[in-house]
A and B are shown apart, each in its own frame.
Chain A
Amino acid sequence: MTLARGWRGHGVLRRHLSLRLAVGFLALGVTVVLLVTFVSYRSAEQALQRRLEERLNGLADLGRSSITEWVAHRRDGLRYVASSIESFVLAPEADHAHSDASAAGLTQHLKSAAVLQRSDVRLIQVPGGRVIASTDSTLLGTYAADELYYAGARDSTNTQRIYPTPRDGRPTLTIATPVRSGADQTVAVLATDLDLQEAERILPQRRGDVPIDAYLVDAYREFVSAERFGRADYRRGAQSEGIARAARGEEGGGMYVDYQGRPVIGAWRWLPDLGVALVVEAPQLAAFEPARRLLESSLLVGLFAIGLLSFGVVAIARSTTRPVLALAAAAGRVAQGDFTSEPLVTSDDEVGQLARSFNTMTTQLSSLYRELSEQVTSTTAALDDARASRSLLQGVVDNTTAIVVVVDLENHVRLANLRVERVLGLGPGEVLGRSVAHAFAGDAGTLLLAALDETRAQDAVVEREVVLGAVESHTWQAVTFPLRDVAGTTYALGIVASDLTERARAEEERRQHDATVQQAQKLESLGILAGGIAHDFNNILGAVLGHTELALATADVPADLRESLTEIERATRRAAELTRQMLAYAGRADLRREVTDLRAVLTDVLALVRASQSKKVEFRVLPMRLPLWVEVDPAQLSQVALNLLTNAAESIGDAVGVVSLSAGPSVPPSAPTDESKAGDAMCSWICFTVEDTGEGMTPEVRRRVFEPFFSTKRPGRGLGMSAVNGIIRSSGGVLQLESVVGVGTRFAVFLPAAADPDSQVRADAPATPMSRTGTVLVIDDEAALRRVCRRALERLGLRVLEAADGIEGLARFREHREELGLVILDLTMPGLGGAEVLTIIRSERPLLPVVIASGYDHAESADMIATDAITRFLQKPYGLEALTRIVGESMP
């Protein structure tokens, strides 16, 4: 089976050597047997033919002499009869008329001539040709004057060559002899028609295994013998090669087809005296019968022998191929990598030797294979390592910012990293194989070549600055160095170049980044500082506000004092707003959204800006008849307006210019002005615009105007416009900017409109002072605030307990635990904080109302304290109204 794989064919024969041998042998053997049999058959046939031809020729010769002899014998007999007649029958004066008696006597005499028995004999008178005596009575009195034999026999004995008799066309052989008188004068002719049947009877006929037929044929192919003549089958004579050739006067022998269509061997003779052909024939079928029998038996024996031999060959081939097959199977297993298999060695012959050699070979192969496997394994590992290293190196080299190139001694690039191709603007791998001059065109190439030459000449590292780059020309610091093999021979040169331009830019960027970070840190610390200041400032403002409100609440305050107190209260509130704004900058602003009247905010801010700006700037304000409600953080909205108006005024600078301010309901920003929807749209958006006639913005400035820390003003922080943009965007609004250099700038701020809050406000309980009873514990580390609070609460009729910090507050709480109706708790206190105090209070009086007061915003405080129905939040600084309302809510 293993062997079979070696063969390309699939036939059974191709798979089995023994079968192939047997079939080959069989085919060869059968061919040889057939050939030998055929040759022996042919030679036997030829021998038989030769022998038979000789025999037939002999018989033909024999027949010819027999016939000739027979005719001679008849002729002699006729002569004898003629002489016997002469003596007593014929008178010299015999005339035409003979007596019947003498004729009868003659006839009797003729009939008695024993020598001519079975032949018609007639006596013909000369002259006249009349038949005067005949053994055939019908001829008596007829004339034979026309007959050839009659004319011919006048002088001597004559044999007329065979001819068709005029009576019935039958071939006839006539012998005639003169009958002479004493005076040697022919007086009659004695003629006889020979019995040709008898002639044929003397021919050599043979029966037996090879029947031999002999017959006579005349010149016209007509059978002479009475038996064959006139047979319906041969009415036109007999045609065959032998007959034809004999009729032509030839003699010989050969093989041909006889008149019946049978293949025969024949011999033929022409008997010219008689005008007949003698043919002796034997059928080939019978003649070659021995040869055929020989053929059959040799075929039988030969084929049987070949069959037997084939089996033998199969057996021998099997026994020969078995060890070979075993060997082949073993070889197949070896081919599949199984070196343990060994063919069974059973003989000492060549196959056995082969098997032993095979075993040795297998053993050697096995060890060799093992060694090779180990080598392959180690080599593969090494190769993998090398690949990994190479990949790593490649990665590193490719991703470094430096250019790395290796050139051979002919200055052709053999290795280059990605950077090279990128810098030179080439495709991947395109640079490989190029010469340095070709790869780095122009001055760079020349410079590098010079550096390389120098390196090669001095066998040293050379540094050069070159300008490279297909897109952007950079200055590179190139180092060329020789690469040496283990023997120290320089086999290549390396070029490593680093980008000096890129490095310079990176340093600049880092510097700028550092500055930005410093600025941010500065802001951060400023914010923290501001936050700290704002907290304390809030408490101060709380005290100022509280006291002012308390003073105003006093009934008998003179009118001028009341006005002053009112101004103090307003300024205090604005200061509180500023504080909140400062907290927002510091990141601690409470971005509270509330419905605010834009008109009021704008009016306030405008007053502020007018006061601070140059008098050459004219502020034009379009009239605003109705309040414009928007839901924003009022402080932020003020900041936006302040920034826009300040910037507008400052853009005019010291020149004379106009700043226009307008506000009102608006169409949605960037929305098509659709008349049908104008009404609704008006209601849903509020817009205010600030327009100046200043110097305008360049496109560069306009692009960067909202960037943080961008400023065109020397003392500016660069945060104004970015804050504006951020505030409007976080409020759900849109800011639009139009500016033309030399003409002016226009900002439009779109804000979503809000509902009129008056109805809700009215629904709230008015903060009218009312009389209450109960005890309130105020825990605050700010004494001024505690006092304002105490006065305000006492005015409401409440008893007030004070605590300066958390510990004292808890002590007070425990002292008056059952009588307390409310606790006002500052969240930020030194020591125990508000959150901890609240937790303890809740553990002891879970349902005691608590108001948390804090300068931080509510969201930030809510991280520490969960507000609910009994825990409320009060933003510091708070006014009396807010305090009164929240106390009212907490102590119903």
Chain B
Amino acid sequence: MRSRRTTIARSLRSTPTRAGVVAGCLLLALAACRPKPEPQLRIGLLGVASSAMSATSGLEAAQRGARLALDELNKGGGVLIGGVRHRVVLIERIADDRPDAAAQGARALINLDLVDVIIGPQLSAHATAAGAVAEASGVPLIAPMATNPAVTAGRRFVFRLSFLDEFQGVLLARFAYDSLRARRAAALYDPASLYSRDIVRIFGQTFGERGGTVVGAELFSREDGLDYRTQLRRIIAGRPDVILLPGFAHPDSIQMRQARALGFRGHFLGPDSWDPVELGPLDAAKGSAIVGNWHWRSARPESRQFIAAFEALHHAPPRTNAAATYDAMKLVALVAARAGSLDGTALARALSNAGTYAGVTATFVFHGTQNPVRGGIITRLLDGSDSTRWIEVSP
């Protein structure tokens, strides 16, 4: 017996065996010592850098809103998910102003940054492309400002916070007909933009139903340069009371000035891509009616609180996109806590069944859909600098 015990002991004393044993012990110790990864709720903010976009939907606003929400959430100790407190981590990726770039941004957030949820991008075209990736990977994506139905159509993981284009078109048509008493309307738009096409289509449909007449619909391509006068002349020739310009703020402001220069005295109608703050000082824009998600002087309690916090930080009024991104962040935290899990499917299910959520921009009602039931506003640019008037419209 002794000799056997000695043999084993001797074999243990041999250098290679000892080295192996020591290495094994070290590995075990390392495994035991390795810090447990901190529980995190990883939110990817996908922004698009675009010179064409106004601050309304701009990247910086989105970042400010998201960071404010992030700060508030983590100050409150993070999010309690499944009984474990998770710190909220925001990963920002900025994509080029192209759908494929947005899709790649989403892919990078999902595959490389391993985010649990994506917020953004703002524009429908981008959101549609990014949403395709998110849908394919089963990662929830919330587009705070995208209005086009294609963004969420047929998808389970892609959500929005804004109203749909149809809502805008109907709202503008009603307002033009009822409030502005317009009977003749015209539109100048880029047919390559799905957003514009849809708004024009629905506006025309609704305006016609009301009894108005669409006297002209002119197209332009962004490849054509910034001279829209050919089309504007043709429009003005139709003597419209209102001209719908469902493009983006920057080209539209040129179009407005060119229209005024050509002698147009009526009102312009603008969708939510218009930034009332930027357009306010523009003379050509006076009297315009703009559909929006939110007004920066909203009296809603949630809004007032948000505005105060935002202004204290940045000494400037928040843009709609900031408020909408802030809402998206808070909503994600809320449903993650409710889902009790970071699994994409669970999060998506919790989002679509979120019920009523009183956000900064509006009160959202999710009842098993990707799109919330919510209201909007119409802002009128009045004479005088920075003077607006707005009405809130129920859904």
Contacts and interface: CB of A to CB of B under 8 A. Distances in A.
B219 A236 contact: no
A553 to B, nearest CB: 126
Interface string A155-171: 00000100111111110
Interface residues of A, number: 37
A230 B136 contact: yes
Interface stretch (A144-152, A736-744, A777-785): A144-152
Interface residues of B, number: 40
Contact of B99 (A11, A147, A168, A236): A147
Interface string B209-248: 0000000000101111000000000000000000000000
B135 to A, nearest CB: 6
A283 interface: no
B377 interface: no
Interface stretch (A125-133, A579-587, A628-636): A125-133
B138 interface: yes
Interface in A206-238: 218, 220-222, 229-230, 232, 235-237
Shortest 9 CB-CB distances between A and B: which pairs?
A166-B129, A143-B192, A237-B111, A169-B133, A169-B132, A164-B103, A169-B136, A145-B192, A127-B223
Given A145-B222, A146-B125, A146-B192, A169 B111 contact: no
B112 interface: yes
6 contacts: A12-B3, A129-B192, A168-B136, A169-B136, A218-B107, A235-B137
Nearest to A12: B3
A861 B100 CA distance: 171
Interface string B136-178: 1111000000000000000000000000000000000000000
A150 B166 CA distance: 29
Contacts of A128: 191-192, 221, 223
B132 A145 contact: no
A236 B111 contact: yes
Interface in B87-105: 98-104
A159 to B, nearest CB: 13
A11 B132 contact: no
A221 B7 contact: no
B192 A11 contact: no
- Residue among A12, A165, A170 having the largest count of chain B Cβ atoms under 10 Å: A165
State the majority secondary structure of interface residues on B: helix
Contact of A145 (B101, B108, B223): B223
A708 B216 CA distance: 188
Nearest to B115: A236
A182 B161 CA distance: 50
A368 interface: no
A220 B137 contact: no
A13 B3 contact: yes
Given A128-B223, A221-B111, A235-B138, A11 B191 contact: no
Nearest to A145: B192
Nearest to A141: B191
A164 B7 contact: no
B138 A127 contact: no
Given A130-B191, A165-B103, A220 B108 contact: yes
B373 interface: no
B114 A236 contact: yes
Contacts of B103: 163-166, 169
Contacts of B344: 235
A166 B191 contact: no
State the majority secondary structure of interface residues on A: loop
Interface in A1-49: 9-14, 27
A96 interface: yes
A127 B224 contact: yes
B3 A14 contact: yes
A147 B100 contact: yes
Nearest to B14: A31
Interface string A691-724: 0000000000000000000000000000000000
Nearest to B220: A128
B259 to A, nearest CB: 22
A163 B100 contact: yes
Contacts of B107: 164, 169, 218, 220, 222, 237
Interface string B265-297: 000000000000000000000000000000000
- Residue among A128, A218, A230 having the largest count of chain B Cβ atoms under 10 Å: A128
B187 to A, nearest CB: 16
Contact of B137 (A126, A145, A236): A236
- Residue among A146, A229, A235 having the largest count of chain B Cβ atoms under 10 Å: A146
Contact of A222 (B111, B128, B129, B191): B111
A86 to B, nearest CB: 20
A229 B137 CA distance: 10
B2 interface: yes
B235 to A, nearest CB: 17
A165 B192 contact: no
Nearest to B108: A220
A335 B129 CA distance: 103
Nearest to A144: B192
B132 A168 contact: yes
Contacts of A230: 136-137
